[in-house]
Structure 1
Amino acid sequence: MKASIPILIFVLAILSCKGPKEDSPIDVAFSPDEEHAEEINTECFRYFGEKDTVLLTTHVDGTNITGTLDYSIYEKDKNSGTIEGEIRDNMIIAEYTFQSEGVTSKRQVVFKNTEEGWKEGFGEMKSVDGIPVQVNIDSLDYSHQMALTPVPCD
């Protein structure tokens, strides 16, 4: 037993001297670093009108979506915040947490991918757990002109 302890220590010392494991070329090719993954999954969209601007930045992970959403609508309070939700049936359905005049609020937002770009849907809303949500997502109005189109992310 006493003779096996020095052998065990010797074997452990040899194993620890192997150095760091190098990834195979296949592992490297199919495992992008975090910075590269951010570039792949991040997209930016903007509506720019005469006096109105809406900017949406999205990060997509499968069907989950997070990002930022900023509104600057003429003669209305600016608001800026984050979205968290999902992509379903060519739509973004998300909870929008935003700041406006120093107050934090939440509401549901729904954007549909149309031929013109991403358009926010508007319709009757109700309060669920204190958060305004759309009563019927299938009957939202997208007939307005504020289409968010792709732009380079800053």
Structure 2
Amino acid sequence: MKQKTIAVIVMTMALLACQNQSTTSNTIDTNKTTIDSIQSLATYLTGCYEYNVGQDTIRLTLKVNGTNVSGELFYDMYEKDKSRGTLDGLLKDSIIETNYAFNSEGMDSDAEVIFKFKNDSLYMGEGPQGVKDGKGVFLDKSKIQFTAAFRKIKCP
């Protein structure tokens, strides 16, 4: 009876050990898949984009390396100030949060610009903005709406 109990305990421990190895292996695979997914998204997002409404055009060039994002943004708004500058930020999940350092009419400025990747498109965030420490920022990120859909274009 005592040997049967020991045998059952040993078999149970062996079974649990096998299950734990399997779980550990799956966790590693899941992390690798997540890393692969991030890199795939980064590769997909890298490129040039354009948004047109009437005579207004916004052009965007993105370079995504893992979670680091850099690029250029150019606003060409009809009968309004144009601006051109650089983006520097991070990709987290499907959100790209950047600092836009730009020049408009001879003035250097900084502003927060946020994009979201959804349904195979890149959308620019719009919402109430203010100024904090001399930089344009979103006042409440929970109120950002992503409605301006950029189309991917061939880079010049």
User: One fold, TM greater than 0.5?
Assistant: yes
Residue of structure 1 equivalent to 2:119? 115
Deviations 1:92-147 (A, max 9, x none): 1000011111111110001112337222112222433221211222320223xx31
Residue of structure 1 equivalent to 2:40? none
Residue of structure 1 equivalent to 2:102? 98
Q: In structure 1, how many angstroms separate the alpha carbons of the residues matched to 2:150 and 2:146?
A: 12
Q: 1:115 to 1:42 in 2, by over 3 A?
A: closer
Question: Equivalent residues in 2 for 1:1-16 (5 A)?
Answer: none
Residue of structure 2 equivalent to 1:140? 144
Q: In structure 2, how many angstroms separate the alpha carbons of the residues matched to 1:136 and 1:124?
A: 7
Q: In structure 2, how many angstroms separate the alpha carbons of the residues matched to 1:67 and 1:117?
A: 17
Q: CA deviation at 1:75?
A: 2.7
Counting strand residues as a fraction of each chain, which structure ranks higher?
A: 2
Deviations 1:9-60 (A, max 9, x none): xxxxxxxxxxxxxxxxxxxxxxxxxxxxxx9984111113330111110111
Cα RMSD (Å): 2.1
Q: In structure 2, how many angstroms separate the alpha carbons of the residues matched to 1:150 and 1:41?
A: 9
Q: In structure 2, how many angstroms separate the alpha carbons of the residues matched to 1:147 and 1:93?
A: 16
Residue of structure 1 equivalent to 2:151? 149
Q: In structure 2, how many angstroms separate the alpha carbons of the residues matched to 1:120 and 1:40?
A: 17
* TM-score, scaled to structure 1: 0.66
User: What's the secondary structure of 1:105's corresponding residue?
Assistant: strand
Counting helix residues as a fraction of each chain, which structure ranks higher?
A: 2
Deviations 1:57-88 (A, max 9, x none): 01111101000000112232111100000111
**Is 1:67 aligned to 2:71, yes or no?**
yes
- Which ranges of structure 1 fall in alignment gaps of 5 or more residues? 1-38
Residue of structure 2 equivalent to 1:5? none
* TM-score, scaled to structure 2: 0.65
Q: In structure 1, how many angstroms separate the alpha carbons of the residues matched to 2:139 and 2:54?
A: 31
Give the counterpart letter for 1:92 in structure 2.
I
Choose which of 41, 45, 48 in structure 2 pairs with 1:44: 48
Q: 1:126 to 1:91 in 2, by over 3 A?
A: same
Residue of structure 1 equivalent to 2:92? 88
Give the counterpart letter for 1:132 in structure 2.
G
